[in-house]
Amino acid sequence: MADIDIKDIIKEENLIYTKPKVITDTVMHYCPGCSHGVAHKLVAEVIDDMDIQDKTIGISPVGCSVLAYNYLDIDWQQAAHGRAPALATAAKRLMPNHYVFTYQGDGDLASIGAAEILHACNRGENITVIFINNAIYGMTGGQMAPTTLVGMKTATSPYGRSTELNGYPLKITELIAQLPGVAYVTRQSVHTPAAVRKTKKAIRKGFENQDKKIGTSFIEIVSTCSSGWKLSPVKSNEWMEEHMFKFYPLGDLKDSEKESEESYKKYIE
Amino acid sequence: MGELKLMKGNEVIAEAAIRYGCDGYFGYPITPQSEVMETLMLQKPWETTGMVVVQAESEVASINMLYGGASCGKRVFTSSSSPGISLMLEGISYLAGAELPCLIVNVVRGGPGLGTIQPSQADYNQATKGGGHGDYQTIVLAPASVQEMNDHVGLGFDLAFKYRIPSLILTDGVIGQMMEKVVVEDQKPRWTDEEIKEKYGDWATTGKQKNRKGNIITSLALESEVMEKHNIHLQKKYREIEENEVLFEEFQTEDAEYLFVAYGSSARVCQKAIEIARAKGIKVGLLRPILVWPYPKKRVSELADQVKGMLSVEMSAGQMVIDVKLAVNGRIPVEHFGRFGGIIPSPAEVVEALEQKIIGGK
């Protein structure tokens, strides 16, 4: 072993993977086991692959991914809590040749920003939405979200989410799939290499749909929050597979162009 | 040049924005200002200048659309009335924090709460003292005629971009709904994307360029030292605006022994009140702030050396009077007269108030 120099190994022809160009060298603040890191990387890879760094505008939310702008070297707008789809609406309409995406958590998108996401999707804005659903408010310390599963213990449902007190977990993705303005709705995860590849394909499709101007693309990524769930990263993945996927099943919910006015007329006749 | 028209104040806001080369409007219907969006939708500027017009789902969405558009270096505006502006305040605070230029029009109605759809000036404090959370200011223009509604669109945008600050037109149902003759400007071209990159590429989200890092529009700074530095920068900017951009008008102040201080529609009432008072031999003049922030403090202070008393006339329970009192600093009597809840004071009432509160009270 002593005669092998590491410098001889680091060569172009031996390279099988590099960090996406768009990812900065800033150390991410995410907890071990958090899905954000992988999701960020996939968005970055798609931007690299499509060579659209100079034409992409990201909208970051309030929540753990508020600082996403430190990790991807593109132009960013940081939105007020829940309002990312409103920012994206204006940015895309005023810069139609740019790729505009929002990156939002479930507290941001499904609770305080429910109106903005529903109406942006209903208008069929030609934007891509990356929706990280870990069923909890991560940044503020693990409080109950609209997506929190029944019985799930959080800082504000310490005895478990009760339907009497808190109602039911919100399947906002299913709701959005009903809207005629939406082109593509899918639910994915990033807990295995195969899932990561599928999610990357979905994100790519979401961005490519912006070229086709066929309506909103909505990509939910069912995610882990080891700190909020108070589980180890490995246990978090197991818990997610066992509980989250049951309520939030993976797969495509809609894949078509948005309804035209003609088809809507036919439908109401 | 320009073109002479007979228009409503609200309509001319829309007309002026299109002709100025504005890039986008985002709004939500509310009385008494819905004519702004209605005029835009009727004009279809997207077919002529390429201006974008979106009816948003709420005032909250409108103001955040403004944030998205302003972040791109585009000239965007919204309009609303009092309860709608209250909903927008969070967004206005973000716009101020992120230093985004834009134009917001508040056609004020009587409050509090759902209040009334009749005109009022009770949003003065909200407009001139920040309004939302945090230490911030917006430039506040107070048109007193349909012509000024037209002029303040351009002026509002110019100041907004000069200082990277939101501009707010503070008007009311009187000016918004009344028709007057107005000269509108000739059509100006919208800025091209290349021009915007050239002018504002150093901060706007126009797409990351090779020679710079990604631009980030945010009002967030987690470290308090950084946030304090940002606040000091903002305050410095506000002082600079106070130094450079004061704008006011005077009527018959040369020989005045008494002074009305009023803005917007109240100033129109005061002009008539001056006629009545002068016919009675009372030498009264008017100071009309055209911008209510920055406030013409120095001029108010100078006039305090000349006149025996000042009456602040407002359609509110007395908001601007505090700024007058601060400038006068106790040297002469300063009183407030106002009708509120949607009532417009009559000129005779104003003269009576002057006689009772200032002349009689000295």
Q: Which chain B residues are within 8 Å of A72, Cβ to Cβ? A: 214
Listed in order, the ranges of chain B carrying CATH 3.40.50.920 are 249-359
Q: For chain A, state the CA radius of gyration.
A: 19
What count of residues does chain A have?
A: 269
What is the ipTM, given to two decimal places?
Answer: 0.96
The CA distance from A67 to A28, in Å, is 9
Q: What is the pLDDT of residue B1?
A: 77
Mutant choice from B26, B52, B66, B67 vs A, greatest count of A C-beta within 10 A? B67
**Per-window interface: B 173-202 vs A, CB < 8 A:** 193
Q: Please tell me what DSSP assigns to residue B247.
A: -
Q: What is the pLDDT of residue A15?
A: 85
Nearest residue of A to residue B57, measured between CA atoms: A119
Question: Which CATH number is B3-184 given?
Answer: 3.40.50.970
Name the minimum distance, in Å, from the CA of A24 to any CA of chain B: 10
Per-residue tokens: A194: 């195969």
Per-residue tokens: A256: 């078509």
pLDDT category at A198 given cuts 50, 70, 90 is: very high
- C-alpha dihedral, A212 to A214 to A216 to A217, nearest 10°: -60
DSSP string, A10-35: --GGG------TTB-SPPP-PPTT-S
The CA distance from B80 to B91, in Å, is 13
Please answer whether residues A48 and A56 qualify as being in contact, where contact means their C-beta atoms are separated by less than 8 angstroms: no
The CA distance from B184 to B19, in Å, is 8
Is A8 exposed, middle or buried (CB count within 10 Å of its CB: 0-12, 13-18, 19+)?
exposed
The CA distance from B130 to B139, in Å, is 10
Q: Which chain A residues are within 8 Å of B52, Cβ to Cβ? A: 90, 93-94
Per-residue tokens: B42: 């009727």
User: How many other C-beta atoms can be found within 10 angstroms of the C-beta atom of residue A214?
Assistant: 18
The whole-model pTM stands at: 0.96
The CA distance from A59 to A202, in Å, is 19
Q: What is the pLDDT of residue A6?
A: 82
Which of B71, B127, B79 is CA-nearest to residue B97?
B71
Name the minimum distance, in Å, from the CA of B153 to any CA of chain A: 20
pLDDT at residue A71 above 90? yes
> Taking CB atoms and an 8 Å limit, are A94 and B90 in contact across chains?
no
DSSP string, B309-330: EEEEEESSSSSHHHHHHHHHTT
For chain A, which residues lie within 8 Å of any Cβ of chain B, measuring from their own Cβ? Answer: 53-57, 59-60, 66, 69, 72-80, 83, 86-91, 93-95, 98, 115-116, 119
> Taking CB atoms and an 8 Å limit, are A76 and B213 in contact across chains?
no
pLDDT category at B361 given cuts 50, 70, 90 is: low
Nearest residue of B to residue A87, measured between CA atoms: B68
pLDDT at residue A147 above 90? yes
User: How many other C-beta atoms can be found within 10 angstroms of the C-beta atom of residue B58?
Assistant: 16
The CA distance from B62 to B95, in Å, is 12
Integer angstrom CA distances of residue A190 from A4, B204, B241, B362: 36, 33, 51, 78
pLDDT at residue A259 above 80? no
> Taking CB atoms and an 8 Å limit, are B64 and A86 in contact across chains?
yes
Name the minimum distance, in Å, from the CA of B51 to any CA of chain A: 8
Structural domains of chain A ordered from first start: 17-267 (3.40.50.970)
pLDDT at residue A167 above 70? yes
Please answer whether residues B319 and B124 qualify as being in contact, where contact means their C-beta atoms are separated by less than 8 angstroms: yes
Model pLDDT for residues A9-34, shown as the tens digit of each residue? 888 888 888 899 999 999 999 999 99
Q: What is the pLDDT of residue A1?
A: 55
Question: Which CATH number is B249-359 given?
Answer: 3.40.50.920
Is B193 exposed, middle or buried (CB count within 10 Å of its CB: 0-12, 13-18, 19+)?
middle
Integer angstrom CA distances of residue A145 from A136, B60, B359: 5, 21, 63
Please answer whether residues A170 and A131 qualify as being in contact, where contact means their C-beta atoms are separated by less than 8 angstroms: no
